[in-house]
Amino acid sequence: MRDILDKRVLFVMGKGGVGRSTVAAALGLAAARRGLRTVVVEVAGQHRLAGAFGSDDGEVLAERPIEERLYAISVDPEHAIAEYLSLQVRPRQMGELLASSRMFHYFAAAAPGLSELVTIGKIWELAQLERRTRGGSRYDLVVVDAPATGHGMAMIRTPRQFADIARIGPIAHQARTIDAFVSNRKKTGVVAVALPQEMPVNETLQLRDELATSGLRIDRVVANACYPERFTARDVQALRAAAADGHGPLARSAMRAAISEQARAREQRAQLRRLREGFGQKAAKLPFVFAPELDRTALKALSRELEEAL
């Protein structure tokens, strides 16, 4: 775990529905417990973290504390653009005028990737030891709950693309700075989240290849929602025999559920093997949580498991 906590930014990436937000929150909790001042960043209109910590009063556009040493922020492109301009343009009133002008909105709509750029720019800003925003304090680690695979990759690639488009001028210069930071593996890490199922594993392997084209590598793989291995193949034989014996419908349902569980666990092992072969390291396993909701207590328990598994 220590090596990934030495980075300045960790992107938590993966396919939709695999539990990126949960893993990002668990990572944040684990880092904070280890004494790192940590901020978890949600993007693209997500506000799940505050909800999970029972402080869901809408958008969290400014950093705010959710646990000791742990902060959350939701980065909204429009807000980030306005903040960028107010920092960038002097006098400040001129920046505000620009941000509110229709002209600028046309520009923002027309310049490809601008909202991805300011989003990743804000992430970069949060990771700076000397913060640019007024009153911004320093973080040891920024954990990013990145958008799902395709859009997540687009976000990471944006700075370089933007630098290539703009070529010269302040935006190009800043895009280059951000790109250098993001592609510096000492500073930026990637944690990939997968479910131990065929499709999510396929996408994780694909993500590995796509990241490589941007000079990045997946530092750790987390296999989320792993079923417990309750039954052996011999158990299943016994269950099948018993089911043929003629029990009541309830007992038969229960046995059937057990047989399904074993089939699932077997498939899961095969997928974990694929991950290990694809990455040359074992995936960190997180258990399936049999609960209606993941609340603060459950998240903390998961973060301890993650800390141990990493």
Partner 1 sequence: MNIADVIADKRIVICGGSGGVGKTTTSAAIAMGAAARGWKVAVVTIDPAKRLANSLGLQELGNEPALVDPELFPPAGIEMEGELWAMMLDPKRTFDDLIDRLAPNEKARDEVLANRIYQELSNAVAGSQEFTAMAKLYDLDRDHDFDLIVLDTPPSRNALDFLDAPDRLTQFFEGRALQVFLRPTGLAARVMGRGTGMVFGVLKRVTGIDLLQDLAVFFRSLSGMIDGFKERAQAVNKLLADPGTVFLLVTSPEREPIDEAIFFWRKLKAARMPFGGVVVNRVHHDLLGDAEVEDVSAELADDLGDKLAARVADNFRDYHVLARRDAQNIERLGKQLRDDRLLLIPYLDEDVHDVEGLVRLDRYLFATEEERQAMLDEVVA
Contacting partner 1 within 96-135 (CB under 8 A): 97-98, 101-104, 106-107, 109-113, 115-116
| 10, 44, 70, 120: which one binds partner 1 (CB under 8 A) | 44
Place of tokens 């720019």: 121
**CA 244, CA 251: separation in Å to the nearest integer?**
12
Cβ contact 204:192 at 8 Å:
yes
Closest contact distance (angstroms) between CB of 241 and partner 1 is 8
Residue 119, C-beta contacts closer than 8 angstroms, at least 6 positions apart: 43, 44, 75, 77, 80, 155
Determine if 257 is a binding residue for partner 1 (CB under 8 A).
yes
Closest to partner 1 by CB, 151 or 185: 151
Closest to partner 1 by CB, 200 or 278: 200
Determine if 179 is a binding residue for partner 1 (CB under 8 A).
no
Q: Closest Cα to residue 32, out of 233, 303, 247?
A: 303
Closest to partner 1 by CB, 14 or 141: 14
Determine if 87 is a binding residue for partner 1 (CB under 8 A).
no
Determine if 4 is a binding residue for partner 1 (CB under 8 A).
no
| 170, 185, 270, 308: which one binds partner 1 (CB under 8 A) | 170
Closest to partner 1 by CB, 32 or 77: 77
**CA 118, CA 79: separation in Å to the nearest integer?**
9
Residue 257, C-beta contacts closer than 8 angstroms, at least 6 positions apart: none
Closest contact distance (angstroms) between CB of 298 and partner 1 is 13
- What is the total count of residues that contact partner 1 (CB under 8 A)? 80
| 10, 39, 82, 85: which one binds partner 1 (CB under 8 A) | 85
Q: Binding string, 189-228, against partner 1, x = CB under 8 A?
A: --------xxxx-xx--x----------------------
- Where are the alpha helices (H) located in the chain, listed in sequence order? 2-5, 20-33, 48-52, 77-88, 92-100, 102-110, 114-126, 149-166, 170-182, 198-212, 233-244, 249-279, 296-309
CA-based R_g, the chain, Å: 22
Span 263-282, contacts to partner 1 by CB under 8 A = 263-264, 267
| 261, 304, 305, 309: which one binds partner 1 (CB under 8 A) | 261
Determine if 65 is a binding residue for partner 1 (CB under 8 A).
no
Cβ contact 23:155 at 8 Å:
no
Q: Which stretch binds partner 1 (CB under 8 A): 42-50, 127-135, 181-189, 299-307?
A: 42-50
The answer to whether the Cα torsion of 73, 79, 83, 88 is positive or negative is positive
Closest to partner 1 by CB, 3 or 199: 199
Closest contact distance (angstroms) between CB of 289 and partner 1 is 10
Closest contact distance (angstroms) between CB of 4 and partner 1 is 24
**CA 63, CA 218: separation in Å to the nearest integer?**
27
Query: What is the arrangement of strands in the sheet containing 188-194, beginning at the earlier edge strand?
Result: 64-67, 70-75, 38-43, 141-145, 9-13, 188-194, 220-226, 284-287
